[in-house]
Copies of this chain bind each other. A is one copy, B any other.
């Protein structure tokens, strides 16, 4: 079942090592079929070089396995929470990419210091609060999802414009309209984290870009007035 989606999610997972975003098995990508209310996710702990499309696991929005011989990613409950609350999200990526983890572990969000950031993320990439002892000892992966949702609520963020979060002391989750776009956003996040770090050390007093520059760059790539790329041309896809 969901063979096309499995193929897409498989290809997206295989992008993680190619883009230098994972060591060993430390990452996972999922993609959802909103009509069926099911999503497809990488199995837990399977090395990328051995992963096959048929290894992918189909789960429902409670994270229950519907199809598949292997145990799904241990982060499946986090994906499920995000799909339940972020209704337009079609794909989710989680990695332990080193620059994003460095910020997450420092408990710092990533401010918008340059246009590369503004091209993809519409504002400072938020960092969650730490989970409480109870949240950790309880349903940990589900609570990881909840703390992300809380962060977006408290900071009045839209998952459509801010497609990334840093879970404090843990690492990044990114999303997009499908699995492939969530991987793209994971790579952009890693690149801007690296740039931000060096900028902050060069100029600790640096301020974020103006709302005008943020708008200009974000909106030339997103939304109905976007003019970057070939997609919005008349007669073009």
Interface 0/1 of A33-50, CB less than 8 Å to B = 000000000011110000
A203-B113 in contact (CB<8A): no
CB neighbours of A106 from chain B (8 A): 113, 198-199, 202-203, 206
Give the distance to chain B from A233, nearest Cβ to Cβ, in Å: 6
Cβ–Cβ contact B98 & A216, under 8 A? no
Q: Does A155 contact B (CB under 8 A)?
A: no
Verify B206–A107 contact, CB threshold 8 A.
yes
Instruction: Assess whether A202 is in contact with B200, with CB atoms less than 8 Å apart.
Output: yes
Contacts of A104 in B (CB 8 A): 114
Q: Is B195 in contact with A98, judged by CB distance below 8 angstroms?
A: yes
* A50, B103: Cα distance in complex, Å: 34
A220: chain B residues at CB < 8 Å are 74, 140
- Roughly how many angstroms separate A228 CA and B131 CA in the complex, as a whole number? 20
A161 at the interface (CB under 8 A from B): no
Q: Determine whether the beta carbon of A46 is less than 8 Å from that of B230.
A: yes
Taking the full assembly, how many copies of this chain does it contain?
Answer: 4
Residues in chain B near residue A170, CB distance under 8 A: 114-115
A5 to chain B, nearest CB (A): 22
Looking at the complex, which one of B46, B105, B130, B233 makes contact with A113 (CB distance below 8 Å)? B105
Residues of B with C-beta under 8 A to A66: none
* B102 and A71 contacting across the interface, CB-CB below 8 Å: no
Chain B nearest Cβ from A66, distance in angstroms: 17
- A230 neighbours in B (Cβ, 8 Å): 43-46, 70-71
Across-interface contacts of A203 in B (CB, < 8 A): 106-108
Q: Does A87 make an interface contact (CB < 8 A)? A: no
Residues of the B chain whose Cβ atoms lie less than 8 Å from the Cβ of A209: 169
**Can you identify 17 A-B contacts, CB atoms within 8 angstroms?**
A24-B184, A26-B116, A44-B230, A45-B231, A98-B195, A102-B198, A102-B202, A105-B196, A106-B199, A106-B206, A108-B202, A113-B169, A114-B169, A140-B216, A169-B213, A197-B198, A201-B201
